[in-house]
């Protein structure tokens, strides 16, 4: 199982609204993530908008590929674009800054 950590930056002034959107993630989006192999997917946010995401999957690249092109993912990503800084023309799921795992306590 591959453990993946990533960082994104939510606009500070939109952080509360962003958190609100995640209280009602579309059921079809949740199922698409599960079907693509995303497990234990969790998001954490700091007050300054720094977002840390964590998930476990068999193969992160394959799980991203499985989501790419799905209508539900395209719609979800488009709805998330306004919340983020530094996307540089990319969707949020294309702009994930993956961070290196350096320790794991079994």
Q: pLDDT tens digits for 6-22?
A: 999 999 999 999 999 99
| Helices (H), ranges, the chain | 15-21, 27-35, 60-67, 71-80
Supply the CATH number for residue 25's domain. 3.30.70.100
pLDDT at 86: 86
Residue pair 29/78 in contact by the 8 Å Cβ criterion: no
- pLDDT grade for 106, boundaries at 50, 70 and 90: confident
22 classed as catalytic: yes
The pTM for the full model equals 0.91
Q: Tell me if 38 is assigned to some domain.
A: yes
| Range(s) of the domain holding residue 46 | 2-99
Position 104 in a domain: no
pLDDT of residue 98: 95
Distance, in Å, from the CA atom of 69 to the CA atom of 44, rounded to the nearest integer, reads: 26
Confidence of residue 23 (pLDDT cuts 50, 70, 90): very high
| Residue 106 is assigned to a structural domain of this protein | no
Gap between the Cα atoms of 105 and 8, Å rounded: 25
Number of folded domains that form the chain: 1
In a domain, residue 63? The reply is yes
Query: Is there a domain that residue 44 lies in?
Result: yes
In a domain, 85, yes or no: yes
Read off the pLDDT band of 60 (50, 70, 90).
very high
* Catalytic annotation, pick one of 3, 22, 75, 90: 22
């Amino acid at each position: 199982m591959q453990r993946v950590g990533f960082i994104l930056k939510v606009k500070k002034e939109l952080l509360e609204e962003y958190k609100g959107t995640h209280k009602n993630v579309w059921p079809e989006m949740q199922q698409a993530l599960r079907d693509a192999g995303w497990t234990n997917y969790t998001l954490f946010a700091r007050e300054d908008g720094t977002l840390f995401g964590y998930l476990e999957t068999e193969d992160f690249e394959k799980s991203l590929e499985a989501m790419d092109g799905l209508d539900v993912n395209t719609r979800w990503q488009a709805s998330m674009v306004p919340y983020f800084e530094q996307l540089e023309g990319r969707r949020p799921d294309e702009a994930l800054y993956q961070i290196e795992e350096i320790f794991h306590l079994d």
